[in-house]
Amino acid sequence: MARKAGYTVIAGLDEAGRGPLAGPVVAAAVILPGEAGLPGVRDSKKMTSHAREKTFGLIGREATAVSIAVVSHAYIDTHNILNATLEAMKRAVLALDPQPAFLLVDGIQPVPVRLPQKCLKKGDQRSMSISAASVMAKVYRDRIMRQYHLLFPEYGFEQNKGYGTAYHLDALNRFGPCPIHRLTFRGVR
């Protein structure tokens, strides 16, 4: 669609970490060359952890540009998760080199930058560049959460990545929130 309109430098954007009770939200922007085919790359939620890790490197090698932006739990608590997500996407776009001429955004909210863009519901299932961004954001965030697990092992971040699993909720009841919990989220308060 964007290529048919004459755009050649198109960035796909997606995020990981809107729903968890702890940790940052991470956005990725990916520019792929032409009609790039990336074997095995699709919506990160439909891939195994091993497959995501494997394709993370492939995307990094094959993409024209990749940018990843992290917005902290504190920013989320201050500005809300939607604004934090859009801020992460904005930062990812602005850090791309080269700068894109057009954005394909997963979801329904446009990124607050002055670039033409198209929001796509289920974009990570419809666009290869958004799928690639989905993988990059998810793998990067998972790696962050595994590091946080080393600091706060009682919450099980290595397994739950900050999502509200039964184990995580039980740990919150027993220990209270740790320094990376989103204090404004239901389940943490």
Who contacts 126 (Cβ-Cβ below 8 Å, separation ≥6)? 120
Domains of the chain in sequence order: 10-146 (3.30.420.10)
Q: How far apart are CA 67 and CA 97, in angstroms?
A: 8
Mean pLDDT across the chain, nearest whole number?
A: 94
Encode pLDDT of 106-126 as tens digits.
999 999 999 999 999 998 888
List residues bridging with 109 in a β-sheet.
Answer: none
Strand pairing class (25-31; 117-120): unpaired
pLDDT of 125 reads: 87
Residue 44 has pLDDT above 90, yes or no: no
Q: Which H/E stretch holds residue 74?
A: helix 73-79
pLDDT of 35 reads: 65
Residue 42 has pLDDT above 80, yes or no: no
Residue 34 has pLDDT above 80, yes or no: no
* Model pTM score: 0.94
Report the percent of the chain where pLDDT is more than 70.
Answer: 98
Residue 14 has pLDDT above 90, yes or no: yes
Average pLDDT over residues 62-79: 97
